[in-house]
Chain A
Amino acid sequence: MRIIGYRPANSWIERQLDERWTRFLTWCAGGGVVVAVVLGTFVAPHQAVVRMRYAIAQLTAEVERLERQERALLLERERLTAVPVLAQQAAALGLAPVPPERIEFLAPNGVLVAMVPPQGNQPSLEEPR
């Protein structure tokens, strides 16, 4: 006889179901749901607020950076177009202030009044005081 395997036949043992285990799992699941609901209700909005605050902080920093940049550019523009600088550039280009004799005024009666140099009003250095 050749024995090819052995399997005890304990079919007479009746397995008993431990119903407390199922109850425990049910309670765990229920607890999990309650915790999830609580988290969902209270913590999630808080997290969203925290996220939003981080975003606001970042945007505020960006706005401040841009404002600083704008300010720096404004000052740079002012430096480049400073009145003495413009005057120097105008002189270099050969531009000169308009002499008064080349200016004409429109009088209230509609006549153009020219500013002609008056006779005998040239500076004299002979009688200084």
Chain B
Amino acid sequence: MTPWPSRLRLLVAALALWGLAVGVRLVQVQVLQGPDWEAEAARQREQTVRVEAPRGDIVTRDGRLLAGSLERVAVYANPRKIPSDVRDSLAERLAPLVGMSAAAVKAELAGHSGFFTLARDLDPAVAPRVARLDQRGVGTLRVERREYPHGSFAGPLIGFVDAEGTGQAGIEAFYDRTLSGTPAVYRLLRDGKRSPTPLDLTLEKPGRPGLSLRLTIDSRAQQVLEEELQRTLDEVGAAAAVGVVMAAQSGELLALASLPAYDPGNVGAVPPRVRHNQAVESVFEPGSVFKPFVVAGALAEGVLQPWEQIDCSGGGVQVAGAFIRDHARYGMLPVSEVLAKSSNAGAIRIAHRLAPQRLDETIRRFGFGSPTGVELPAEARGLYRPVAKWSALSRAGLAIGQEISATPLQVARAYAAIANGGLLVTPTLVLETRDSTGQVVTPARVPPPTRVVDERVAAALRDMLEAVVEEGTGRAAAVPGLRVAGKTGTAQKAIAGNYQAGRHIAWFAGFLPLPRPEIVIVVCIDEPQARFWAADVAAPVFGRVAARLVSLLALQPAEGARV
């Protein structure tokens, strides 16, 4: 065998060494660093995108769409990433897509140094056309526009969302998580120019579209209530008008209005104070609409009988050195007439039959001083002092609806307890939640009611409150052919601890049709101007609303109805 020449051996050795080096590097890259390089390759080739879930709808119980979302597109630009020599031609090409002139686009690009939104609320068809411009520093963002097709109708109830689509008030805020759903995460491939392609779209993390809410609100009842409250604002003039229509047995809210209302789609047009839902966020002294609860406490404790005569003579009553006036010298009045004539002296004398603790228990049992639990944010609990902080005048004050403030919804709930036989229900706004396919996900949540007074006490109160409408201060609330019960209340407004002359709150709270009431209606007019007595201002609104709801809700006169 011929030995290899030394130069050839050197060459072979060098080649072998090179081969070994390549082999070692291969092992290092492919085996040891393999996963890292694989991930790097995937990072360059793939892109993860987060797709926000569409926000759910809000519909009334009769199917009217109160809030829904529409997909839109925003075009952004980052002048830092756009070479100055292409800006003019880019502006020319971009202008028709964003609905601006080329000069305006040029000015916008020149006026910003970093990322900014060039145009928003564009048709989604614009997105692929912007992508085809293939210009670094210009792109589109998918955005959602919340639509409120009914304008200010039920506005304070629905609430609104901010620019990010997060609920800020009303049902939009309370059910924000339910309505917004969860975003999906997709992985997609990018092409040679690192632009995402719609190919190989892989779902990394499934999302869930926002659930839709079906409310207990009846659009027709809501319209009737808003129309009649607006009529009062127009005719009488007032700072605000609030109304509640509630199903007496279930606590379902059929209408909830707070005027002046606002358009949730144009919240910026109204001052912040108007953005409140006064039915649940504002508290008012109830005045005489509170008297039935004092009577209820006395009846429940057995210190008062329905047929008793109460001394209402003297034109008022002296309590702890203060003389609280009555509207007239009534003489001796049966309990039902104490309510029918809204005698302050009679109510105070009844309240004084109750020990402070018993009166306090009654008031708390009817839900005053604590939130009702309705599905709305910022619900006020009302102003009510603990019994330890009561003064010698407190029982007298409470008897005529002073020293306590409540929301119209709290008053409606308490009247529902009288209407339905003594059960305190939780007001509810949502009948059910549905997914994007229309399947019911969560049926109505109806917490069990709690008994606050005996059925006999509730029945006695219903009769007394019917007398208020038949022959007392609430005659303007009567509905032809139906038996109606209710109570007026005219309260002076307290500002900074002092009652203000000329500033009142007019209430009417009641229910119909007797003997088995189906709906409770509460009307509260804040600072009525032309007239201020509840009998003139609030009771007629109740009467008109109730009369119009008769046919809409098919309220039927039961046995004993006046026909």
Contact = CB atoms under 8 A, between A and B. Distances in A.
B260 to A, nearest CB: 14
Contact of B482 (A72, A100, A125): A100
Interface in A64-99: 64-65, 68, 71-72, 74-76, 78-79, 82-84, 87, 97-99
Nearest to A118: B562
B478 interface: yes
A117 B481 contact: yes
A101 interface: yes
B548 A97 contact: yes
Contacts of B201: 57
A71 B123 CA distance: 13
Interface string B524-563: 0000000001111001100100011011000011000111
Question: What interface size band does chain B fall in?
Answer: 35 or more
B68 A129 contact: no
B68 A71 contact: yes
Contacts of A8: none
Given A71-B68, A115-B563, A83 B535 contact: no
Contacts, number: 137
A116 interface: yes
A128 B199 contact: no
Contacts of A121: 470, 475, 478, 480
Nearest to B66: A78
Interface in A109-129: 113-118, 121-125, 127-129
Contacts of B426: none
A118 B560 CA distance: 13
A23 to B, nearest CB: 32
A82 B149 contact: yes
Contacts of B200: 53
A57 B65 CA distance: 31
Contact of A115 (B219, B533, B550): B550
Contacts of B519: none
Contacts of A54: 198-199
Nearest to A122: B475
B164 to A, nearest CB: 20
B165 interface: no
Interface string A26-54: 00000000000000000000000010011
Nearest to A79: B149
B59 to A, nearest CB: 10
Contacts of B65: 74-75, 78
Given A103-B550, A123-B540, A87 B227 contact: yes
18 contacts: A53-B200, A60-B198, A61-B198, A64-B124, A75-B65, A83-B64, A83-B222, A84-B226, A99-B547, A105-B557, A113-B561, A123-B475, A124-B475, A125-B533, A125-B535, A127-B341, A128-B488, A129-B535
